[in-house]
């Protein structure tokens, strides 16, 4: 069984601060994806990382994929209240996704 562990489980910060959430896998997936999910809604894809050492930027969000392709991080710069949500990483194994438990991020005004 391939497991994805996310940390921290909960994160509460003030608007304007930076934050980083982590995703670590027990094995290698063909790709790793990050999603954001708001209460009562389905997850929305933020980014897919495929290559070891890859760094992708999406406005204030920076995603890194470890060289060994088993760990990843999501860094948010100058967080805004709109960044509040559940951040999920998911490993792609032949197009089947295994999700981590998620990090609940709360950005306070």
Q: Decide whether 44 or 55 has the Cβ nearer to other proteins.
A: 44
| Residues at the interface with other proteins (CB under 8 A) | 35, 40-45, 48, 88, 95-102
Least Å distance, CB 90 to other proteins, is 8
* Cα 105 from Cα 98, distance rounded (Å): 20
Q: Decide whether 15 or 93 has the Cβ nearer to other proteins.
A: 93
For β-strands 103-108 and 10-14, DSSP reports them as: parallel
Q: Is 82 helix (H, G, I), strand (E, B) or coil?
A: helix
Least Å distance, CB 16 to other proteins, is 27
Q: Decide whether 85 or 102 has the Cβ nearer to other proteins.
A: 102
**Torsion angle, CA of 9/22/45/54, rounded to 10 degrees?**
180
Least Å distance, CB 75 to other proteins, is 21
Q: Is 83 helix (H, G, I), strand (E, B) or coil?
A: helix
């Amino acid at each position: 069984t391939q497991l994805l562990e996310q940390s921290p489980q909960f994160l509460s910060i003030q608007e304007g601060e930076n934050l980083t959430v982590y995703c670590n896998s027990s094995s290698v997936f063909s790709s790793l994806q990050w999603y954001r999910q708001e209460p009562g809604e389905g997850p929305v894809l933020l980014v897919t990382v495929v290559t070891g050492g890859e760094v992708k930027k999406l406005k204030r969000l920076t995603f890194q994929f470890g060289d060994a392709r088993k760990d990843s991080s999501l860094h948010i710069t100058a967080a805004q209240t709109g960044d509040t949500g559940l951040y999920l990483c998911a490993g792609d194994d032949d197009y089947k996704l295994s999700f981590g438990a998620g990090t609940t991020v709360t950005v306070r005004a």
